[in-house]
Amino acid sequence: MTAADPLREELAAFKDPALARGLAQSIQALTPEKPDGSPITLMEVCGTHTVSIARNGIRSLMPSNVRLASGPGCPVCVTSNHDIDKVIALAKVPGVIITTFGDMTRVPGSTSSLLAEQAAGADVRIVYSPLDALAIARENPEREVVFVGVGFETTTPLVAMAIKRAQAEGLTNLSVFAAHKNMPGALEVIVNDPELSVDALILPGHVSTIIGAEPYRFLAERYGIPGVITGFEPNDILQGIAMIMRQLHEGRADIEIAYARGVMAKGNPVALAAIDEVFRTCDATWRGIGVIPGSGYEIREEFAEFDAMRRLAPPVEETVEHAGCQCGNVLRGVLRPDECPLFRKVCTPENPVGPCMVSSEGSCAAYFRYL
């Protein structure tokens, strides 16, 4: 037996069919009936969970009275049209280099997209890390380089560290468009949404590696909503659902971790300290939800010279929402993607009307590909 064999065996367990069948049977046995006969609604918050659930056919393993609803866990998807318009305005500033993750280039704003602006002559470059933007700024000292900072607590520390490094190096031609968001405030809005009536939450794995479990505790204590943090393999998700069903079966609400190999209760203190040093919380607009107090991050005054909108202040066009697009209701879990009248007819991955069809973590893209 080689040294790699135990690890290979451990990883194989997360996709083991026999274990999956056992977990599915546990879910069937533990799932309670609601007194009014309505379905039990579980929301998978994370976009990566949405993709894994669709790809692995997990919905087909659920009891007939269980509904899995997708939530606002795709960072590209929840970025508002107005914020997309701001990025497009930055791309139109002469001499600016826009650096961004790939999904953002195809998201439509009110009248354009980064991809359209690139075709019209704007310098838009896909990067895989904020550090790539630093390198581009060093290589182009005469150009203004803007990094588009979109994401949740998972990517925010990386951007914070990039800003700190730029300041330490005296790199004066790098700035950041900060549209980062934090998750707990959005979940409070979701559990109070009367159209959804969520019963429990499959909590995000990636975000939770940074923030831990404690920021979700109020959901159980204040609202009686159970939550389980899970990983992304099929049996991770099934285990998390089984733990949720046990809570519902026993009539209790707690925040539990089914992803102990990746998440500690108190999160990652180094990453959290980096966020707190560079950013402060602010109100933020979420697509489909609206303004959520304290749910965004803005660059602190001490690092204000790295704020792209303050530095460049481009004119931003009046925001126009796309007629018929139901991304907002999909992100709230109120509609399935295939209930949108544009789905597959007008809105496709080749011709996306909304960001949920663009992003690799988008619910509409997952439904289009796997269902």
Q: What percent of the chain has pLDDT over 90?
A: 92
Residue 1: the pLDDT is 45
Residue 12: pLDDT band (50, 70, 90) is confident
What's the pLDDT score for residue 102? Answer: 87
pTM over 0.85: yes
Query: Which amino acid, one-letter code, is at 116?
Result: A
Confidence of residue 142 (pLDDT cuts 50, 70, 90): very high
pLDDT for 306 = 98
- Give tens-digit pLDDT for 222-267: 999 999 999 999 999 999 999 999 999 999 999 999 999 999 999 9
**CB burial readout 287-322, b (16+ within 10 A) else e:** bbbeebeebbbbbbeebeebbbbebeeeebeebeeb
Cα distances (angstroms) measured from residue 214 to each of 4, 41, 61, 119, 273 = 34, 23, 30, 46, 16
Half-sphere exposure of 38 (CA within 13 A, CB side): 8
Could you tell me which residues come within 8 angstroms of residue 193 by beta carbon, excluding any fewer than 6 positions away? 332, 333, 334
Which pLDDT score, from 0 to 100, does residue 15 have? 83
CA–CA distance, 19 with 16 (Å, rounded to integer): 5
146 pLDDT above the threshold of 90: yes
Is residue 368 within 8 Å of residue 348, measured between CB atoms?
yes
**CB 151, CB 182: distance < 8 Å:** no
Q: pLDDT per residue over 237-246, tens digit each?
A: 999 999 999 9
Q: What is the DSSP string of 142-208?
A: TSEEEEEEEESTTTHHHHHHHHHHHHHHT-TTEEEEEEEB-HHHHHHHHHT-TTT---EEEE-HHHH
Closest among 364, 358, 312, 310 to 335, alpha carbons compared: 364
Q: How far apart are the first and last CA of the chain?
A: 40
pLDDT the model gives residue 227: 98
